[in-house]
Chain A
């Protein structure tokens, strides 16, 4: 290589490095902003009540009204002065209310997740096994239903809850949740990729449809079932609209709604409860990010 070519090569290379470094700085800064709220919630839950009061007095006094804090400047601190678990102790040992609300979330989300997937597996199998005009019409109406916002679907839900006399009970959220077409949509898209020769081979071996479904189809879907479960879980774990409309009784409210009501009275405890509430989905995420990404990617198009 001649000297000139070498220096040009070097120039191109340094240009590339500078560009990459600039891009990394930009994205890194953005990433820092993205992760900050999560990190702050967790670290702030480890501060004592006095430290919270000192840091955020100016903000949360205006809400409580009855406390006066000394500090006149708001300090957003990442690292607590002293790590203390006192907020957790107050939140979950001394006042069972928060634990109860956490339980409300669990008992709403888990049945929806489990039964939505079971029913969706069967429905998706029907959509994926054969094509027909009727099937595609039904599938298309499922998609339309899936795209409707809560402002549309909550009114029918409210009316059904009246028919069955389940208003203000958990069933009014669980039952419509179970039949939500979201899981059907993703599972059907996955099942359509299973080549029909797999089914035909099983049939030649003497399998009935039920056996093909349980012995061939479901095992092949194991990964995507996991992905769908994660997506359904995070969606309902974050529910706000349904409990506000369908559960008049505050005692049944999940933490996703109730948390906003403790902000005002007790900021320190609220940080601890908030941190605990985001731990389950974050753990799921850290252990199964690939499944989540796969699930999202499968939800990726309304066509085909």
Chain B
């Protein structure tokens, strides 16, 4: 492996290390679960491998029948991106649903309270 990095490698390496540090920090403060931590660490470690050893991606590409390593990277990334967007959409939809449930609960409880108050004030004759 040549130790002299071309500028794009250097830039990507710095960015990926930054991303990896974020993943670690979020995991340490408990924002993300172990599963999410492992998933993203895996992605970024693979990315480091691909940046430092571009032959590695070419090797994988050959194995699965794609000519160039860069193409293999782009295809996999696209599939992954689409899937993650879909997951995010589902998550958002669930979140919206939960907020509605909460809103509903608050509205119904408020009504029960109001009703109690009305009966009480009726009893006191005011």
| A, B from the same assembly | no
Residues of B within 8 A of A (CB): none
Interface of A toward B, CB cutoff 8 Å: none
